[in-house]
Amino acid sequence: MGDRQPHPNSTGWTMDIPQSELERLMAMMFVCRPRTAHGQYVSVGRVDCTTRRWVFEAEHARTWVDAPCDPLDPEEPVRLPRHFIDSLMPLADSLGSVLIYRDRTTGQFVGVSGNDMVACDPWDDESGEFDDIESMGGPSDSTVSAVVSMETVRRISSEYGTYFEMAFGRTASVPPAFTGITVADGRFSWISDWSRWHLPKQSGAAEAETTGAGSVGFLADVMWRTAVALGPAGTATISWNGECPTAVRMIGDDWGVECEVHHEMMFRYRSFIDSAFSLIDYKPDLETEFDVDTVGVIGPRMHFEKDGRTVTASVFDAGPSCDDYVRIVTRVATADVDIPAVRAEIDRVNESLVGAKLLVIGKEIFVAVEFSLRADHEMFGREVALLEASAAKCDGLEEFLPLFSQT
């Protein structure tokens, strides 16, 4: 292998990919729905002098698979268009492998097997940081982990797939059930609530080698499908940061998958809420935080600003027989609500509000409006207008309520 040279037309690197490696790579990509941009390519790079890693960015997840490294592999990670990878399999069928390189003249990626070849232009935008390929092989900052058998993982995946098909058929038009995982005292347990689709909950538990203890909920469909496609036997380690989980990882001997952690209800309705506020000229307010809940990439609240007023939206699951609903709030005052006179004034103002109410969180006082998420954008706008009008009725509370604490 040391006598081999890069392809004479290459930019200096050449990879010899056996068919078996391509098959695993195709399996990894098949189970994932690509991101709008990131999922259009596969990153490949060296982990060390013996291992190359293929990384695929899925929607709210990323997967990777390892293979033996070749001395002629590129020194730095390379982004290969997904459709280029798709075109390599027919080439590999005849000779059992395919040679790929980047042409030094055209800049195209080229695949060669025998007398056959395919070429592909690079992805339009190659700027930006590559995936942190080397850091994916371990739990990194994880404080909670469980080593579980692949037999357990296959059972979870099979059950999840059965429920998925009962709820959607082959393709889901909305996010499927989230999975909750709990690790504690040598036990690994899971639950996926399918009641939204009038199906029972899927749950179970198994023995595991555990570190730490905690629970996390996330959209795990990519994880279960990837594990079955890439991890046929042995064990896998599931891990996350117990203090502030933003992702859950499952890692096998030569493969892995990482799923982002999101607040489920906001994940389901985030796009609708964002567009509804945008239509009435509210802009995302990324600096305001009325809460200390930082769990998840998509958190439990969204903040919007217009004309100096910040409105915060939260989403709630009302159960399978009722409509999910949104609560929008805006702060109107700060006061010591433990003073009876202050509380009495809040109650008086509450009685004057129609379709809205005052909420007290600590010493912060908010006007709140709640309504069904069956609402269209027009109705959403009317509810925000109601919130604005109710907040206007509370003008002066910020200056008036503190006077009660002086008596």
Whole-number Å distance between alpha carbons of 97 and 312? 55
pLDDT (0 to 100) of residue 298: 85
Pairing of strands 109-113, 116-120: antiparallel
Average pLDDT for 124-134: 56
What are the backbone dihedrals phi and psi of residue 233, each rounded to the nearest 5 degrees, phi first? -150, 180
4, 114, 181 from 395: Cα distances, Å: 78, 79, 46
pLDDT band at 291 (very low <50, low <70, confident <90, very high): very low
pLDDT digits (tens, 9 = 90+) for 221-247: 999 999 988 877 899 999 999 888 889
| More confident position, 33 or 295 | 33
pLDDT (0 to 100) of residue 132: 66
Place of tokens 């190659």: 126
pLDDT (0 to 100) of residue 360: 86
Whole-number average pLDDT of the chain = 87
| More confident position, 330 or 126 | 330
Residue 126 has pLDDT above 60, yes or no: no
Whole-number Å distance between alpha carbons of 336 and 407? 13
Residue 369 pairs in a beta bridge with: 328
Average pLDDT for 132-145: 69
pLDDT band at 141 (very low <50, low <70, confident <90, very high): low
**What domains, with CATH codes, occur in the chain?**
10-136 (3.10.150.10), 138-261 (3.10.150.10), 265-406 (3.30.1460.10)
pLDDT (0 to 100) of residue 48: 86
pLDDT (0 to 100) of residue 233: 83
DSSP 199: -
| More confident position, 75 or 208 | 208
Average pLDDT for 184-195: 96
Average pLDDT for 306-321: 90
Length of the chain: 407
